[in-house]
Amino acid sequence: MHNVSNPFQACNDIFFRPNGVFAAVAKANNWSWLPFIIVMAMAILPNYLYISFVDFDWYRELIVMAQYGNSSPAEQDMMRQNMSRESALFFALVLTFLALIVINAIVAGYLTLMSRNDETCVQGFTDWYGFTWWAGMPIVVSALISILLIFIADNHQLPPAIIAPLSVAYIFGLDMGSPWFSLAQSFRLDSLWVIYLTTVGVSQWTSFSTKKSAVIAAGPYIAI
């Protein structure tokens, strides 16, 4: 197994040689702040660029018709009046930040409970919470693709799914009016990468077999 000597090297190697990274992170202190910053920034940046770039009148109408299409015209008009670019930016950025904090905490709690079945595992909740940011690093790839697609776009009427270009919704061109949109938006190819990294990490930090680690890693996604 190769040696990982610092968190910057770990952020690079997590994509290519994750075994060494998780082995090093298990013994290191305060390394997980770096992937936390990277993951958070790369989750927020596509949202910021998209809302700043999109034809907001078109986007607002898209959201209103998708979410309030069955509401009365008065309710739809009220929604239009209350929705501005500034408010959309605020909610997108704040909700993305809070969602990642909460979701990773839930996953860390889940991994803490699962690891209690292994008497050799010494990691607690805070260790597993740091672990989740390393396992979440594939978002960098998705975010970079999203940023590139926004930059090369030839018009400002971009579908919201472009924020998650590795999702089934974007790949198959589903619009927000589709009853399958939410499910398809949540199923992302980079999530499979996250499951793989979680499998590697769990097998490194516990004495579980690779098969059992994979079941544990996939558990939250299967439940969702």
Chain segment 83-115, per-residue pLDDT in tens: 888 989 998 899 999 999 999 999 999 999 999
Q: Which residues contact 63 (CB under 8 A, 6 or more apart)?
A: 79, 83, 176
The tens digit of pLDDT for each residue in 159-217 reads: 988 999 999 888 888 777 777 777 788 888 999 999 999 999 999 999 999 999 999 99
DSSP codes joined into one string, the chain? -----SHHHHHHHTTT-HHHHHHHHTT-SSTTHHHHHHHHHHHHHHHHHHHHHS-HHHHHHHHHHHHHTTS-HHHHHHHHHH--HHHHHHHHHHHHHHHHHHHHHHHHHHHHHHHTT-TT----HHHHHHHHHHHTTTHHHHHHHHHHHHHH-SSS---GGGGSTTBHHHHTT--TTSTTHHHHHH-BHHHHHHHHHHHHHHHHHSS--HHHHHHHHHHHHHH-
Q: In 44-80, which positions are buried (b, 16+ CB within 10 angstroms) versus exposed (e)?
A: bbbbebbbeebebeebbebbbeeebeeeeeeebeeee
What pLDDT was estimated at residue 120? 85
Is pTM beyond 0.75? Reply is yes
Kindly state the percentage of the chain with pLDDT values over 70.
97
| Calpha distance 95→93 (Å, rounded) | 6
Q: Residue 1: pLDDT band by 50, 70, 90 thresholds?
A: low
What pLDDT was estimated at residue 69? 66
| Calpha distance 142→166 (Å, rounded) | 6
Whether pLDDT at 222 is above 90:
no
CA 114-9-190 angle, 5° bins: 55
Mean pLDDT confidence for 70-92: 82
Q: Residue 219: pLDDT band by 50, 70, 90 thresholds?
A: confident
What pLDDT was estimated at residue 215? 94
Among 99, 98, 100, 123, CA closest to 111? 123
What pLDDT was estimated at residue 118? 84
The tens digit of pLDDT for each residue in 2-48 reads: 678 899 999 999 999 999 999 999 988 889 999 999 999 999 999 99
The tens digit of pLDDT for each residue in 117-161 reads: 888 888 999 999 999 999 999 999 999 999 999 999 989 999 988
What pLDDT was estimated at residue 2? 65
| Calpha distance 210→224 (Å, rounded) | 22
What pLDDT was estimated at residue 68? 66
Decide if 7 contacts 34 (C-beta within 8 A): yes
